[in-house]
Structure 1
């Protein structure tokens, strides 16, 4: 098959970014009178989830340092529900892949799946919490706030969800999904905020380039309202693809460190959730995912959003880890194995051939590194013509052919094209 010519494109987004992360965090802590919240000798649990968050290690390290200056004894607890294969060892591996270790953050990590029962929500869901966190003198909840991939509400992915699902470990994750994330996570978080020693929240918002745009410290009584406010900010900074109509979207890499669904459904427009319908835009006929990040440790939840994958992605799948996450999340479609072909080139060719009445030379193709990285992308000639006059894109005038290596896999050189 003869592919169309391609062009490198840079899409411009709002670039608000914090230049001094430590200074911003210190200022946020000062605003909530951080030093008065803790006393010397207290054991303080700091939560860390499974997402790749910009400056995560620096933020956690700084929190540890500031707590130690007070005389407190901080430690880290994985707050990631069933991720990491729902095992203590697996969750430690996830943290390690995110750059979180005792050496990098200056505090011990206590990884355990044991939980305590905090009671029930008014709709009957049992609220669970990590036993080590609950038995600490205080808890600091740290998370990024962004739109969820399964439901829309005032509170989606953020501090409230981390309390209800992340700190709930495997049992809490299953319970929340069984009762429906919305509105159960908010109800569960309210129970936890009332019964657990949660002292402080650190809310992080990122810009469209996945760089830290805002850090906010939040006292216990303001968690719900501030979490909702930061979600509005996060939505205003969300990136998007340059066009609405696409024949084929090629995603070079998917993974749990990129999105809870491997590929962000808010970018794809595909939802595969009983709670939401697919959105009107973008309209994408075929999706090919080429690889799974090493940081996913084989968890390929979200592969069901793709139509085709190459053998190299399929060979990385840990079905036990994937299915543990899929079942607890209640989204079986997202764990279904797509059509598997031998190489990237085969996958792209078959995806195009499967589209009815398509002139391959006029195929509307977009290639991205991941749904987290939409600033630099590759588009086919037909799309290039459509976006020439847009004010929020920078276009290269040099066209090129897609390059594949000896195994038929897409070359990284394509993303370096001038």
Structure 2
């Protein structure tokens, strides 16, 4: 099969950035007047999730330092639902892979899968809450605000999700995702969030927003009473800063790696256009990728291949990396079993590409619109096929990097990464 010629491109994004993270964390937390709420030596549970948030270890460390400066006794709780295989050991491994250890954040980590049912929604769903966090004198919620890969509403992934699903551990995450089949996440928030904030002594949230090049763009402390009003505003800003593919259509999107540190769905469904349907763009998606090929998993995902089922094709190398137990637990808990389904698997990258290009319709493979990215979090650089070249020439935000070259596959049938 004659494959298309390719070229590297660079994409320019507007990218505001927090220049002094430590100073910003301290300034923002000072604005919550926590010293008037938290008494000396009172314990504060600080949440740490499973996402690959830029500078997360530093942000948590500075949060710990600030709390210590006002006399509090902070500790860290893994707040990641069922991730890490739904086990204490697995969740600690996930945190360590993100650089969050007792040494790096200067505080003890208390991990358990035990929960306390602290309330019940108006439609009968029990609200689980991490036992150690519940037993603490106070809770401080730290999380990134961004569009969720499946939930749709004024509040998606952020402070509320961390408080209800992350701290809900395996039990809570499972029951919430079951409930979402009948009730929307915003409905659940309206039903129970205010009560959880009170019952669990939440003293505030630290919202993190990132720019399109995976840097910290904003850090804002939010008072508990402002969670409901402020998070939708922050979500709108996060959507504006979301990284995007260089083009809104691809016959074949090649993704070098997926993983839980990249997105909750392994690859961000908002980016690849599969938020509403795992295998086709809808009218509500801004991107249409006809076929997707996944080449591997990130090491930080520890074998959790959630999202692999959103692709049509993958490689044997990728399948060999899958921890099927971790993937099953996560996808069943999330009520998204399709995300764990293994796509058509080929022994080499070359065979996977050739097979995928047989299913794109009437376009000849050499004329196909093929787009290769490293992952959905890092989109400054990409590799594009010749069919896109005129679009790059006409764009004021894209530029070629180097000259075109033959499709980058070696004698063993393996491609190079972007």
Does structure 1 residue 302 correspond to structure 2 residue 325? Answer: no
Superposed displacement of residue 280, structure 1: 4.3
Q: Show CA shifts across 1:120-140 (max 9, x none).
A: 111211101000000001111
Superposed displacement of residue 374, structure 1: 1.1
Match of 1:198 in 2: 202
Match of 1:233 in 2: 237
Contact kept, 8 Å, 2:143 with 2:162, in 1: the verdict is yes
- Residues paired across the two proteins, number: 412
Distance 2:112 2:66 in 1: 25
TM-score, length basis structure 2 = 0.95
Does structure 1 residue 213 correspond to structure 2 residue 209? Answer: no
Contact kept, 8 Å, 2:392 with 2:399, in 1: the verdict is no
Identify which range, 352-361 or 150-159, moves more after superposition.
Answer: 352-361
TM-score, length basis structure 1 = 0.95
Contact kept, 8 Å, 2:281 with 2:288, in 1: the verdict is no
Q: Show CA shifts across 1:35-91 (max 9, x none).
A: 333222111110001000011000001111111222221111000001110011110
Match of 2:252 in 1: 248
Match of 1:100 in 2: 100
Does structure 1 residue 399 correspond to structure 2 residue 375? Answer: no
Q: Show CA shifts across 1:196-230 (max 9, x none).
A: 11112100000111110100011111112121111
Contact kept, 8 Å, 2:270 with 2:285, in 1: the verdict is no
Match of 1:322 in 2: 327
Distance 2:187 2:320 in 1: 36
Superposed displacement of residue 271, structure 1: 2.9
Q: Select which of 155, 180, 185 maps to 1:182.
A: 185
Contact kept, 8 Å, 1:22 with 1:59, in 2: the verdict is yes
Q: Which runs of 5+ in 1 are unaligned?
A: none
Superposed displacement of residue 339, structure 1: 0.5
Identify which range, 47-56 or 277-286, moves more after superposition.
Answer: 277-286
Contact kept, 8 Å, 1:272 with 1:333, in 2: the verdict is no
- Summarize the Cα distance change of 1:330–1:247 in structure 2 as closer, same or farther, 3 Å threshold: same
Distance 1:257 1:188 in 2: 29
Distance 2:316 2:402 in 1: 34
Superposed displacement of residue 370, structure 1: 0.3
Contact kept, 8 Å, 1:364 with 1:382, in 2: the verdict is yes
Q: Select which of 367, 370, 384 maps to 1:365.
A: 370
Distance 2:285 2:137 in 1: 48
Distance 1:299 1:160 in 2: 24
Q: Select which of 270, 291, 297 maps to 2:296.
A: 291
Q: Which runs of 5+ in 2 are unaligned?
A: none
Match of 2:155 in 1: 155
Match of 1:350 in 2: 355
Q: Show CA shifts across 1:333-382 (max 9, x none).
A: 11111001101121111111222322122110110000111111111111
Does structure 1 residue 128 correspond to structure 2 residue 136? Answer: no
Superposed displacement of residue 283, structure 1: 1.8
Superposed displacement of residue 110, structure 1: 0.9
Q: Select which of 247, 257, 263 maps to 1:259.
A: 263
Superposed displacement of residue 277, structure 1: 7.3
Superposed displacement of residue 407, structure 1: 4.0
Match of 1:42 in 2: 42
Does structure 1 residue 76 correspond to structure 2 residue 76? Answer: yes
Superposed displacement of residue 405, structure 1: 4.5
Superposed displacement of residue 396, structure 1: 2.8
